[in-house]
């Protein structure tokens, strides 16, 4: 009986460990597609969690089980302990809806914490517009929520990433936007996270990122 059980156990497929990935909300569509392609190719399972980079970083600092983190800025990545860290992508800001000086309600991601909002505030201050529009601003949980506010008619315009709304008006002198990716110190599946990070930097993944409007290295 023991021999039979041993043979049975050896015949069962070994369950590959999951790779838990937390990524900025603006990456939702692109990374979901890339992860699906990677799972089909590798047989590994990628578990995705999207949100504002500031929220994700806080979750990680507070002990959330995450193997790989992709942030929409360097500042949030600086908050978490990493093993391997690389600059993965870049992006651009865009205006959706009415011109900012005409709009009465302007949606942006939280300018005090969320990268898209921080970038937007930097640009508005650079142009001398922050004091002009500050009273019109509607802070949102993340950049996707800012776009949704315009689409629902709750805001006249929004400052988002061009990857969230390709028909938006690109801000030509916007800030330099870098998305770093990192395998986290304390990750339970370091090897799996490294493999997926390598795939994110591959030619196949790069083509998908560019199709969604990201700029790759």
Sequential DSSP letters for 106-161: EEEE-TTTSHHHHHHHHHHHHTT-HHHHGGGEEEESSHHHHHHHHHTTS-SEEEEE
Query: pLDDT tens track of the chain, all 217 residues?
Result: 555 444 444 444 445 589 999 999 999 999 999 999 999 999 999 999 999 999 999 999 999 999 999 999 999 999 999 999 999 999 999 999 999 999 999 999 999 999 999 999 999 999 999 999 999 999 999 999 999 999 999 999 999 999 999 999 999 899 999 999 999 999 999 999 999 999 999 999 999 999 999 999 7
**Given the structure tokens 């193997």, which residue do they identify?**
67
Going by CATH, does the domain composed of 93-170 fall within 3.40.190.10? Answer: yes
**Both structure tokens of 200:** 């994110």
Rounded to the nearest 5°, which phi and psi values hold at 14? -80, 125
Task: Give the whole-angstrom CA distance, residue 176 versus residue 63.
Answer: 30
H/E/C letters for each residue in 40-102? Answer: HHHCCCEEEEEECHHHHHHHHHCCCCCCEEECCCHHHHCCCCEEEEEEEEEECEEEEECCCCC
Within the chain, which residue ranges are assigned CATH 3.40.190.10?
Answer: 2-90+177-216, 93-170
- Res 20: pLDDT: 98
**Given the structure tokens 């008006």, which residue do they identify?**
169
- CA torsion through residues 45, 202, 83, 28, sign: negative
- Res 171: pLDDT: 94
Class of domain 2-90+177-216: alpha beta
């Amino acid at each position: 009986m023991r021999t039979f059980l041993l043979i049975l156990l050896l015949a069962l497929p070994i369950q590959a460990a999951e790779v838990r990935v937390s990524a900025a909300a603006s990456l939702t569509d692109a990374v979901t597609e890339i992860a699906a392609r990677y799972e089909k190719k590798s047989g590994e399972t990628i578990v995705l969690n999207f949100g504002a980079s500031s929220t994700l970083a806080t979750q990680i600092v507070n002990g959330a089980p995450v193997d790989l983190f992709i942030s929409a800025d360097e500042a949030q990545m600086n908050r978490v302990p990493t093993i391997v860290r690389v600059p993965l992508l870049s992006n651009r800001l865009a205006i959706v809806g009415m011109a900012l000086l005409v709009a009465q309600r302007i949606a942006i991601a939280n300018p005090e914490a969320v990268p898209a909002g921080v970038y937007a505030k930097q640009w508005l201050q650079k142009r001398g517009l922050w004091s002009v529009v500050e009273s019109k601003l509607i802070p949102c949980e993340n950049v996707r929520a800012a776009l949704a506010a315009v689409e629902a008619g709750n805001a006249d315009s929004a400052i988002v990433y061009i990857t969230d709304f390709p028909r938006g008006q690109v801000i030509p002198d916007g800030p330099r936007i870098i998305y770093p990716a990192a395998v986290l110190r304390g990750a339970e599946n370091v090897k799996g996270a490294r493999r997926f990070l390598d795939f994110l930097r591959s030619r196949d993944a790069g083509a998908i990122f560019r199709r969604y409007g990201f700029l790759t290295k």
